Structure 1
Amino acid sequence: MSAARVAGMPGPWQPDPVRQRQAGYRLEDLLRLPPDAPRVELVDGVIHVVPAPTLGHQDVSSLLRGWLGDHAPAHLRAAQAVGVALDRDFTREPDVLVYRAEVPDDRHFLLPHEVVLAVEVVSPGTRRTDRFSKPAEYAGAGIAGYWRVEQNPVRVYAYRLADRPGRSGNREYELLAEADELLELTQPFPVELPITEITP
């Protein structure tokens, strides 16, 4: 059984309640979602609808994606709201990401080794996930860099994947820099980002 409309119920697409209870969804099911399906992530086989972002969140994401796209070297590209398949039954959709340019442009999902930076813009409804869950998931999958962007005022926290496991016994991110004026980094490429350029 694939992701489909609930039998006998009119209206927009919904996940199959039986498969949701069984945590039975896989990556290939997401590729078959109908055009009217909402944005979703797959967490341990359960489909989660991605909350609609605020205008401020979208402004910061768009400005940052534009800045990264303009400044990344030729072997890297920037994208917004593209899924990353962390496992067969686990996907996330970073707000912005930087990935290797050799990835074919007809792909719906990136693999962790193709992503060099995942960025989450924190909103009131995503604080816990963006500050705790997603960094742990991205680090566990081996994504080299993670940025967390707080709003009001805009402040960027830039992390890199540590060489050794952390206190949890798993790979974790370590803070490289934080900035509310100028973010300066050497990875994933030389960065001198004035925070005003990503502030709406």
Structure 2
Amino acid sequence: MPNWLRPPPGGFTADDLDRLPDLPPHTELIDGSLVFVSPQPAFHALTVDLLNNGLHRCAPDSMRVRREMTVTLDNRQRPEPDVLVIDAAAAGDIDGTTYRADDVILAVEVVSPDSERRDRERKPQLYAQAGIRHFWRVEKVDKRPAVYVYELDPATHAYALTGIHHDRLVLTLPFDIDIDLTELDKL
């Protein structure tokens, strides 16, 4: 049994994700605990591809799109959004394993059966507390993605729902976005 299965006193830290040998891919740190990802259904993978490609197409030159990279929110929080948009200045370190919350413009979570509570409750709470201005939660509705779009309310430091998009995702914030969600049927 690997030694890292036993948490140190006080829990794991964000830096531990880079130091612990042989961690499973896509391991996250939530509240000082390691979270391992289960195999994802095809819907999850296809939706991540659809949003990743659509955001790449729409993103301005000042931003970059990444998938499945961790974000260090603080010493005990290092979640891994399914898709994220970052400031282009933060994209220069191609050997980096994480981004800072200050560099994240949008975090996207595609809800899976094994992560419903984390994706719907805990992760949005953490992203909002870290000041990430835009968050999308994506759910499967009738075999297609439904995108729940949130914006950070600066007065409450919590997300406010600004829209639910089913067939087409058309937004002007954080930049002009137009993604045909029905394209999932062709992937």
Query: Which stretches in structure 2 are left out of the alignment for 5+ residues?
Result: none
Asked if 1:117 corresponds to 2:111, the answer is no
Aligned mates of 2:55, 2:7 — CA distance in 1: 42
Question: Is 1:87 the counterpart of 2:78 in the alignment?
Answer: no
Matched, 1:156 2:162: no
- Measure how far apart 1:107 and its partner are: 1.5
Q: TM-score, normalised to structure 1's length?
A: 0.84
* 1:5 CA displacement: 2.5
Contact kept in structure 2, 1:177 and 1:185, CA below 8 Å: no
> Which residue, out of 163, 181, 187, partners 1:195?
181
Residues matched between the structures, number: 181
Q: Which residue of 2 aligns with 1:72?
A: 59
| SS of match in other structure, 1:154 | strand
Contact 1:65-1:80 within 8 A present in 2 as well: yes
Judge conservation of contact 1:82–1:93 (CA < 8 Å) in 2.
yes
Where does residue 95 of structure 2 map in the other structure? 106
CA distance in structure 2 between the aligned counterparts of 1:18 and 1:82, rounded to whole angstroms = 23
Q: Compute the displacement of 1:197 (Å).
A: 2.9
**Equivalent residue for 1:168?**
none
2:7, 2:114 → 1: CA distance?
A: 27
Letter paired with 1:107: G
Q: CA deviation at 1:71?
A: 1.2
What's the secondary structure of 1:175's corresponding residue? strand
Q: Is the 8 A contact 2:152 2:158 kept in 1?
A: yes
Compared CA separation, residues 23 and 175, structure 1 to 2 (3 A): same
Counterpart of 2:128 in structure 1 is 139
Larger radius of gyration: 1
Contact in 1 for aligned 2:169/2:180 (Cα 8 Å) = yes
- Per the alignment, residue 5 of structure 1 pairs with 2
Query: 2:39 maps to which residue?
Result: 52
Indicate which of 116, 126, 131 corresponds to 1:127.
116
The 3-state SS of whatever aligns with 1:134 is helix
Between the aligned partners of 2:103 and 2:114, the Cα distance in structure 1 is 28
Q: Please state whether the residue corresponding to 1:193 is helix, strand or coil.
A: strand
**What SS is found at the alignment partner of 2:56?**
helix
- TM-score (normalizing by structure 2): 0.90
Q: Secondary structure at the match of 2:81?
A: coil
3-state secondary structure, aligned to 2:144? coil
For residues 26 and 101 of structure 1, do their structure 2 counterparts lie closer, same or farther at Cα, with a shift above 3 Å needed?
same
Contact 1:96 1:119 in 2 (8 A): yes
